[in-house]
Chain A
């Protein structure tokens, strides 16, 4: 039971981090960045190919490469297309995602690349008399720490305030002096760091990295953003967390019927959206007086 709860929290936390990364970029650009998946993938690839190095060094390299790739996406592609309309941006992000998958295939091959990343994490320890894996405890601790840091950044700093304001109304934020290029680049950089951390968390559990490695988690994180409230960073993280927790609990308690876990998940998502079309965190905006 403790293992099931830890698994649920760790998967929820992982999806919350992925959703927050996507939500940050959506907030400032109204762009669903499908290529976020490839940021998670590159982090995982770097961790696998640098596995001989100390874990911290390997992670720092992965984080730097992932962040640089995220910022490069903005500078080389999205910045040039800004103002062309949401449909073009969406297609561009989808195209970039597919392009990067093919590039990874050329560099790393089509077959999964694998390495035992932090094998000590697969060991077990006793918690309240029950055996739980070190990796699940580590994941819970990492996600809680990162979410606390991200929460501080978003809620307590000037950059965070600008990001939240831009997520609500970017045009008005610019009228107040928010520098659009700088803020968008910062959002991509933070989303790159978050993707690198997500890549690390998932590759410890599943070190079989292939070109489409990050796609599944990104799609589920997108679902999380929608049910959390697409214009709210808190909502994005909460929605991602909920999707991860629900999926993990379904996988645990459905037993042999776990093949239907996604069906149940999306049924729940539909019910949530029917009750609250704007997402769980949409209440505040609905109550606005105009």
Chain B
């Protein structure tokens, strides 16, 4: 039994169909990348997994429990957290309050303080800015806050939608280094990115999406072949 199993999912918005038969699995402590050009359905896939959108058909299970039909607030309690596109931190609240909100979805409340201390250890900048308004942090710091807030819920699997968006290369490297340490602690990570090169060398496996379908599955080894990567990303005509 895999940690997360997505099986033949068709999903979209009302009558507009976006995903056509998506299937993949991820094991504990592994990383998975999902890449593809703008508009291929990457964010729709994440929204479907976290319960923001109900799929038309298919099955999604987390640790063997069917999560289809459950709302985001129930799915986070089962151990699946999303760091949404654009971070979506609560800019008007303090950094400490944002972290506090992360505890809402945590099942084991008795170890809340330990969880807060642990994320502050991973992201030390959040301790020095604890009382600051979150909206005043830099883009990179906001991204760290968004990841830290999700980690506090003690997820078995962390989903990140375009974590590099709006960040400088140095900050992106820092964020991905922190993700490596999160994975090494046993949390699985799924990263959705438009910029394929960021993910293909990082993730254990990367799915390349086009037109709402998975076109190719590549390993870091495959990604070294730039031509193969280009063909998978843009299609063989390009």
Contact = CB atoms under 8 A, between A and B. Distances in A.
B43 to A, nearest CB: 13
Contacts of B135: 284-285, 287-289
Interface of B: 50, 52, 71-73, 76-77, 81-82, 84, 86, 88, 90-93, 97, 100-102, 104-106, 133, 135-139, 142, 149-150, 153, 166
Interface string A212-240: 00000000000000000000100000000
A164 interface: yes
A159 to B, nearest CB: 10
A210 B146 CA distance: 51
Contacts of A176: 76, 101-102, 104-105, 149-150, 153
A129 to B, nearest CB: 45
A161 B96 CA distance: 11
A172 B84 contact: yes
B139 A290 contact: yes
Interface in A82-131: none
Contact of B100 (A161, A171, A174, A288): A161
B136 A288 contact: yes
A176 B52 CA distance: 12
Given A171-B52, A176-B104, A164 B93 contact: yes
B93 A180 contact: no
B138 A177 contact: no
A173 B84 CA distance: 11
A4 interface: no
A165 B150 CA distance: 15
23 contacts: A161-B100, A162-B104, A164-B90, A164-B92, A165-B90, A171-B52, A174-B73, A175-B50, A176-B101, A176-B102, A176-B104, A177-B153, A178-B73, A284-B91, A284-B92, A284-B135, A285-B91, A285-B135, A287-B133, A287-B135, A289-B135, A289-B137, A289-B142
Contacts of A287: 133, 135-136
A33 B72 CA distance: 26
Contacts of B106: 177
A177 B77 contact: yes
Contact of B71 (A180, A232, A285): A180
A177 B52 contact: no
- Most A C-beta atoms less than 10 A away, residue of B76, B82, B92, B101: B92
A33 B102 CA distance: 30
Contacts of A285: 91-92, 135
Nearest to A282: B92
Contacts of A289: 135-139, 142
Nearest to A164: B93
- Most B C-beta atoms less than 10 A away, residue of A175, A179, A232, A290: A175
B104 A178 contact: yes
Given A164-B92, A171-B52, A174-B72, 17 more contacts: A158-B104, A161-B100, A161-B101, A162-B104, A164-B93, A168-B91, A173-B101, A175-B72, A175-B82, A175-B84, A176-B104, A176-B149, A177-B104, A284-B135, A285-B92, A285-B135, A289-B137
Nearest to A172: B88
Contacts of B73: 174-175, 177-180
A158 B135 CA distance: 21
Contacts of B71: 174, 180
A177 B105 contact: yes
A52 interface: no
Contacts of A175: 50, 52, 72-73, 76, 81-82, 84, 88
B90 A168 contact: yes
Contacts of B86: 290
Contacts of B92: 164, 168, 232, 284-285, 288
Contacts of A288: 91-92, 135-136
Contacts of A178: 73, 101, 104
A62 B114 CA distance: 45
Given A173-B101, A174-B72, A165 B136 contact: no
A256 B6 CA distance: 73
Nearest to A168: B90
Contacts of A179: 73
Interface in A177-193: 177-180
Given A176-B102, A176-B153, A177-B76, A169 B139 contact: no
A135 B142 CA distance: 50
A284 B76 contact: no
A179 B77 CA distance: 11
Contacts of B138: 289
Nearest to A171: B52
Contacts of B90: 164-165, 168-169, 172
- Most B C-beta atoms less than 10 A away, residue of A177, A179, A232: A177
